[in-house]
Chain A
Amino acid sequence: MHISEGILSGQVLAAGAAITIVGTAMGLKKIDYDQMVHVAILASAFFVASLIHVNIGPVSVHLILNGVVGLLLGMAAFPAIVTALVLQSLFFQYGGLTALGANAVVMAVPAVLVHFLFLPLLGKSPRLTFVGGFLAGFVSIGLSSLLMALALWFTNEDFLKTCIAIISAHVPVMVIEGIITGFCVSFLLKVYPEIIPLRKSR
């Protein structure tokens, strides 16, 4: 899901960078001192998730895990994802530093959105917790695909075909990430409920 360097137009890159700076600043302001370990753990999960790839036809897709990061961190997901993306770019040559802003928007904005949409479902019952987690993983990848498609579309209209390819290629990842996020939050709620923001505030 990382957009390579030299693909997007200057305007799209600039808009991405501006949104990322604002999002990261807001996220850093919101992070609670006690939450820092959770932020680091989830940023690490995001950092390594991209190494797990799935070949679907001619397209190669990889796990992203922005759903679980966003669901559990909320606005703090922005700096966590940006940090992980910088390190992926430096250590694995994924994406690239010039496309960092756009890639961060593609992955972090849906992460923050699913936090507000699905966090209320967690902790109500085991089934609802799983459903909330599943929807967070599923929807975050869907929205990320849509944002990536929009970024490419704003750059060049010829990309429209590619956009359909991106969304269709990521449907299996949406399902996989939904299941992973569902099981992940169900498990965490049992063994480490402090990581779930809703539980913490009760």
Chain B
Amino acid sequence: MKKIIILIALVFFMPATAALAHKVIVFAWVEQGQIHVEGSFGSDRPAKNCTITVKTPEGILVHQGITDTQGLYSFALPEGLDSDLILELNAGTGHSGQWTLPKDELSLESSPENLKNKMAQKQSLEKSPSLVRIAAGIAVIFILAFLVSFVKKRKKGRHNA
């Protein structure tokens, strides 16, 4: 039992050394007539030289570009567009991410407060998984293991009977 507890503790504290996420995060906002796109693999890891494809929900290509070394890309707001925009970042090797800009955001000029909210939203997306989520995931695994062993034990009991 002591050995099992040590092993569980090792597993639980393992991410403490380098707990950083690995997912493609795309974020876009409108500012001064421009659409700004930022791609990353989490905080401080920009998605460099990645393709940005901008489409309407119907799949019509609106714009295409490539992120710079900071994972940023900006382009002028397309004129006469009356639909949402879907921005897709392709990071290669099977990794991609999407962000949808609703059409009402495209027509609005961002206020400083609106921009502040957007940046807060971006930061929350880039956050590394919290310890609570990691612990919850491990707890789910052990609960499932308990359920499977319970079912197996019952089956074994029936066979023996």
Asked if A21 is at the interface (CB within 8 A of a chain B CB), the reply is no
Are B141 and A48 interface neighbours, CB within 8 A? no
Are A4 and B22 interface neighbours, CB within 8 A? no
Are B141 and A40 interface neighbours, CB within 8 A? yes
Asked if B103 is at the interface (CB within 8 A of a chain A CB), the reply is no
Contacts A58-B48, A60-B45 given; indicate if A44 touches B138 (C-beta within 8 A).
yes
Asked if A198 is at the interface (CB within 8 A of a chain B CB), the reply is no
By a CB distance below 8 angstroms, the chain A residues around B45 are: 55, 60
Q: Considering the chains assembled together, what is the distance between the CA atoms of A32 and B36 in angstroms? A: 54
Residue of B nearest to A169 (CB): B93
Asked if B110 is at the interface (CB within 8 A of a chain A CB), the reply is no
> Pick the contact of A162 from B92, B134, B148, B156 — CB < 8 Å?
B92
By a beta-carbon cutoff of 8 Å, the part of chain B in contact with chain A is 3-4, 7-8, 11-12, 14-15, 17-24, 41, 45, 48-49, 88, 92-98, 128-129, 133-134, 136-138, 140-142, 144-146, 148-149, 152-153, 156
Residue of B nearest to A42 (CB): B11
Interface size class of A (residues with CB under 8 A): 35 or more
Residue of A nearest to B98 (CB): A6
By a beta-carbon cutoff of 8 Å, the part of chain A in contact with chain B is 2-4, 6-8, 28, 31, 33, 36-37, 39-41, 43-45, 47-53, 55, 58-60, 62, 83-84, 87-88, 91-94, 148, 151-152, 162, 165-166, 169, 191-192
Q: Considering the chains assembled together, what is the distance between the CA atoms of A36 and B141 in angstroms? A: 11
Are A52 and B15 interface neighbours, CB within 8 A? yes
Residue of B nearest to A194 (CB): B3
> Pick the contact of B145 from A37, A52, A60 — CB < 8 Å?
A37
Are B18 and A152 interface neighbours, CB within 8 A? no
Q: Considering the chains assembled together, what is the distance between the CA atoms of A84 and B145 in angstroms? A: 12
Number of A-B contacts (CB under 8 A): 128
Are B153 and A4 interface neighbours, CB within 8 A? no
Contacts A45-B11, A51-B129, A91-B129 given; indicate if A165 touches B93 (C-beta within 8 A).
yes
Contacts A53-B18, A53-B22 given; indicate if A4 touches B138 (C-beta within 8 A).
no
By a CB distance below 8 angstroms, the chain A residues around B95 are: 2-4, 7
Contacts A44-B11, A51-B19, A60-B45 given; indicate if A92 touches B93 (C-beta within 8 A).
no
By a CB distance below 8 angstroms, the chain B residues around A47 are: 134, 137-138, 141
Closest 6 CB pairs of A and B: A40-B145, A3-B94, A36-B149, A51-B15, A87-B137, A91-B133
Residue of A nearest to B88 (CB): A6
By a CB distance below 8 angstroms, the chain B residues around A52 are: 14-15, 17-19
Contacts A44-B141, A169-B93 given; indicate if A4 touches B24 (C-beta within 8 A).
yes
Nearest CB in chain B: distance from A177 CB, A: 14
Are A87 and B93 interface neighbours, CB within 8 A? no
By a CB distance below 8 angstroms, the chain B residues around A84 are: 141
Question: For A48, A53, A87, which residue has the most chain B Cβ atoms within 10 angstroms?
Answer: A48
Instruction: List 13 additional A-B contacts (Cβ < 8 Å) besides A60-B41, A92-B129, A192-B7.
Output: A4-B24, A6-B98, A33-B153, A33-B156, A39-B145, A40-B141, A40-B144, A44-B141, A58-B48, A60-B22, A152-B93, A166-B94, A191-B3
16 A-B pairs with C-beta separation under 8 A: A2-B23, A4-B96, A8-B94, A33-B156, A40-B141, A43-B145, A47-B134, A51-B18, A51-B20, A51-B134, A60-B41, A91-B134, A92-B21, A92-B23, A94-B22, A162-B94
